[in-house]
Structure 1
């Protein structure tokens, strides 16, 4: 009898073990191998169409060695160092101004793009703005800004601010959608207006996240401001482009070392501030 009473449970356990399947993205193994084969074929076709060969790669290594040899030691003359310092200060200033301007524009867009606190027309309009600003690469915006505004840091500030809008608005809108609506409803229950509900019910919940995102975007903008200068939009990138065109590779090395140092310091400051505010 004991054997008969225990056998159903054992059979059920065995059945459960037989029917369990490891989760997989493909229900059919033929579909899985077909997808893998298609991806492999696409990679092979891409390599062949781009004419990537081992010989070309090895010859590039030889040229790279010659380039590195011509870059060492980096140029440290007083005149070169002074120009480098001036351009680096301009780069940091560009990043700061662009971050403040971009975030100032991003705030209303982010609040409008939060589905839980904004009406549908405003939500869709704000999401469209975010998609548009994220779709265009920063260098393309910098080229257009240089054509419209001329060479100099103003074009770089416009380009970096434009990219800040898409980045900051999207992430901050997602944080706004994750807030506890109970606090907002409690503020509304006191007879507060929509604006007062935002100020006293929403803002206190997102201030730490706002500060962390702002510092993180400033860190990114430091790096971006070194790149937009390559197309004439101010900053250290302008100096890098000129040094490269003049074959002053030792000065190029000095500029790269300065860029890496500033980016590392900015990243360290960003990490410390974000850790403290969050």
Structure 2
């Protein structure tokens, strides 16, 4: 299996250390946490950009693998055992050479930590273009076969658009925050998101709105049929910890959200 994966043999070692912060994903129907996204941070809390800028092309595979293992190890320690929530891990499609072989470290970490595969979601964003969409489809197919959830991040920005969606359909789509910002006052944004919501229903894809910063955004998006939400309105990412969420303080908002259903 190793012979089929060039990255396993040629990837350069990392010359820096990093860790993860966690941000909640909320379910507006239940008013509970649906999952947490693991976000790359420096050891002193530096933002993702500071770390990603240090990753060379030769280190891409090793970094992608290390991120998966780090996220699983931290989540296994932080997530309450009675909490059946998802762990969302970002991955780099262009760092996956052979889907099955490149999952070995992930599967080993899941077994070691006891973290269930069905609670792991892999989300990919395309700030760099995927030239071989067939390869990406093979990745999605293998990840689903292994029991993982798949998600397309930043939908509506960069290369993560309709042409990519036409070639394969993930389990979940994360609507980019640029489409969310100001949506309560924008008929155009409301119409675009309503069309995406309709598309999601037609294709059987769950939708998540990211970058929520206000009650008005939350109410508008829930009225459009969106169920899952993420953003500073609920909590900011917390370094190596699960951020506190005042669910009681959100009760009034969620009650109003429920009435828009």
- For the pair shown, which has the larger CA radius of gyration, 1 or 2? 1
Q: Tell me the TM-score normalized by structure 1.
A: 0.22
Larger strand share, 1 or 2: 2
Q: Tell me the TM-score normalized by structure 2.
A: 0.23
Larger helix share, 1 or 2: 1
